[in-house]
């Protein structure tokens, strides 16, 4: 009983299922059938809407990235002052929505995907540049000439905390993760202003 206007619904379901499956299995070795099954349709339909497995992966990646971007924008919209904005960015990075187990697992595998698929690499570069730029705006008034170096370090630290989270057994703890990052940030800012 085909209803019309299914395309966006199906596509969204596939993207969601892809993230879950990659997160669950912890690798990109996920079959289109698995994804389609979790999304409640046949694998043929997945191909019908996306054309290829790679396209599905890229759509999932864009989704995670745009979710993250939206979260950051939202957090930045309600605060002002460099320090508060800095905290808002970090807060968004470790918010429950982004720091869910499956999402973190997906992130790790998107890094792997970026090694092979140019478009995935591009997407990840965009994310990194935007993060860097956001940090820099806040850091320049706070850290002056050292801003670039601090931003570089903070970015790497965030990625590293994600990486370690992917390996952790228990439930994710965004609060603890943010504490780690905040401690480093405070130390950097105290040294010199």
Partner DNA sequence: AAGTTTATTGACTCGTCAATCAACAAAAAA
Partner DNA sequence: TTTTTTGTTGATTGACGAGTCAATAAACTT
Binding site for a copy of itself (CB under 8 A): 25-29, 105, 108-109, 111-112, 114-116, 121, 124-125, 128, 146, 149-150, 152-153, 155-161, 163-164, 166-167, 179-181, 183-184, 186-188, 190-191
Q: How far is the CB of 35 from DNA (least distance, A)?
A: 8
DSSP string, 118-171: HHHHHHHHHHHHHHHHHHHHHHHHHHGGGHHHHHHHHHHHHHHHHHHHHH-SS-
Stretch that binds DNA, among 1-9, 16-24, 103-111, 139-147 (CB under 7 A): 1-9
**Is 51 a residue that touches DNA (CB under 7 A)?**
yes
**Is 53 a residue that touches DNA (CB under 7 A)?**
yes
Q: What does the alpha-carbon distance between residue 107 and residue 164 come to, in Å, rounded to a whole number? A: 12
Q: How far is the CB of 6 from DNA (least distance, A)?
A: 4
# residues contacting DNA (CB under 7 A): 23
Judged by beta carbon distances under 5 to 8 A according to partner kind, the member of a copy of itself, DNA, none in contact with residue 173 is none
Q: What does the alpha-carbon distance between residue 114 and residue 124 come to, in Å, rounded to a whole number? A: 7
Q: CA angle, corner 12, sides to 6 and 14, nearest 5? A: 100
Tokens 């993060």: give the residue.
131
Tokens 């990235």: give the residue.
65
**Is 116 a residue that touches DNA (CB under 7 A)?**
no
Q: What does the alpha-carbon distance between residue 64 and residue 58 come to, in Å, rounded to a whole number? A: 10
Q: How far is the CB of 165 from a copy of itself (least distance, A)?
A: 9
């Amino acid at each position: 009983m085909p209803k019309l206007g299914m395309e966006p619904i199906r596509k969204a379901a596939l993207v969601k299922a892809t993230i879950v499956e990659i997160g669950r299995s912890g690798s990109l070795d996920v079959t289109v059938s698995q994804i389609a099954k979790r999304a409640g349709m046949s694998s043929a339909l997945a191909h019908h809407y996306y054309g290829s497995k790679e396209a599905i992966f890229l759509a999932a990646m864009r989704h995670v990235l745009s979710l993250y971007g939206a979260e950051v924008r939202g957090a930045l919209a309600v605060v002002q002052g460099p320090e508060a904005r800095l905290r808002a960015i970090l807060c968004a990075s470790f918010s429950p929505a982004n720091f869910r187990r499956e999402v973190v697992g997906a992130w790790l595998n998107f890094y792997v995907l970026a090694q092979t698929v140019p478009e995935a690499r591009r997407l990840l570069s965009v994310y990194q540049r935007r993060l860097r730029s956001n940090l820099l705006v806040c850091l320049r008034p706070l850290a002056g000439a050292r801003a670039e170096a601090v931003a570089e370090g903070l970015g790497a630290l965030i990625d590293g905390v994600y990486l370690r989270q992917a390996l952790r057994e228990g439930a994710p703890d965004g609060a603890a993760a943010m504490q780690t990052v905040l401690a480093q940030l405070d130390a950097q800012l105290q040294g010199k202003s």
